[in-house]
Structure 1
Amino acid sequence: MAAAAAAAALLLLTGCGAGVSASGSSGGPAATTSPSPRTVTREIPGVGAALRSRIPAGARQIVAVYGDSVTSADSTVALFTRQGGGLWKRERTWQGHNGKRGWTTDHHAGDNKSPVGVFTLSDAGGVLADPGSRLPYHRSSAFKAPRSWARSHWHDFDLVIAIDYNRVRGTSPIDPTRPLGESKGGSIWLHMDHGSGTSACVSQSKADMEYLLRTIDPAKHPVIVMGDKADLEA
């Protein structure tokens, strides 16, 4: 148990938990970049050929994160489900946050930027009991944010979905393995929001996290497509 707690602490310090402001300051204005108002579309709105080509052919659920700009911490998040005839239905849209320094196509540990790209979603976990997740859910007190952080950040990791960036699929989100090396960072998660930018993760309200956990279905091979407006549209 002590070893697990130590490993978790290391992960939190090198992933989303790095560089948390002691002031717990609030974020900027709500994101203005948003997907098309149409409910059903041929392609995922706002996603250009470069990232679209990286979406696996079998993916039938997509979480799209639309960053306000390359330097902004504000995002719009949407869930799309594949329909018959190859169409995509936008199920729901909500506000969130990304890295406090925006986005990057070359993420490194400690840069406080979220990685642009297409990543699978395979595992979940957190401090709280499983709210009905369809993904494998790993509950552990090791997710608990240090109480030395600002109080507004204490519940960030109550609910977590691992973004499969530099991690081993099929393991707990706090597994320390980094296939690309430690310098490329890790512990990039969807997690609960504290009102401002993260160290690299994507955050949203508890209600939105519960919705994702209950809706994302591994049988639909879910992926997340995330980035700032310009990189998404490339």
Structure 2
Amino acid sequence: MCLELYLDLLSQPCRAIYIFAKKNGIPFQLRTVELRKGQHLSDDAFARVNPLKKVPALKDGDFTLTESVAILLYLVNKYRVPDYWYPQDPQACARVDEYLAWQHTTLRRNCLRALWHKVMLPVFLGEQVPSELLATTLAELDETLQVLEEKFLQHKAFLAGPQISLADLVAITELMHPVGAGCQVFEGRPKLAAWRRRVEATVGEDLFREAHEVILKVKDTPPADPTIKQKMLPKVLAMIR
């Protein structure tokens, strides 16, 4: 039975999983769950796969999995992928784990908030964001980028060492969220910009562009209809608080 991945490439972790599977030739059936249509909240078939009603989700026969890092590690362990993605060496592996543990409440949170405060709330859900809140959000993102450079990237080619790893894939897909919102996150950061170019080149520019096509057009998102807004707004506000 074919592996099924429930994704929407609007989502940062969905993009990481999509790129990883495609890059490593992992066969899967894409099950698109359109977040902007509220399908994650209203589709009963999807709710049986993930009762949390979030993407990404994986279904492999009778086995289901619903957290992005867990899905990436499952794919690493099940399929023969190059060791550099998640090294067997304990210290190299720990560096990847260190980044994956850090990013959940830092880079991911701030990139998500930047997108929603700058574009999705005012454009998609019609909720104005106070200028002071937006300024605070962007300042927090800038501080997190500084930590990403100084603590994790330093003077290395990639976040965990000389080769690409899951850490880089998770990080770059997060950073493309504020890029899609019009934030110049690489401007004035030559080390980070050079790292981005290395990640794109290693992944493959065509695959990188394909995975990020949705987010780079997100500013053109039409307003949600009132039913979708009513369902989504409380959950969005809880997610980005």
The alignment's TM-score, normalised by the length of structure 2, stands at 0.27
Between the two structures, name the one with larger relative contact order (CA 8 Å, sep ≥ 6).
Answer: 1
Larger Rg computed on CA atoms: 2
Whichever structure has more helix as a proportion of its residues is 2
Whichever structure has more strand as a proportion of its residues is 1
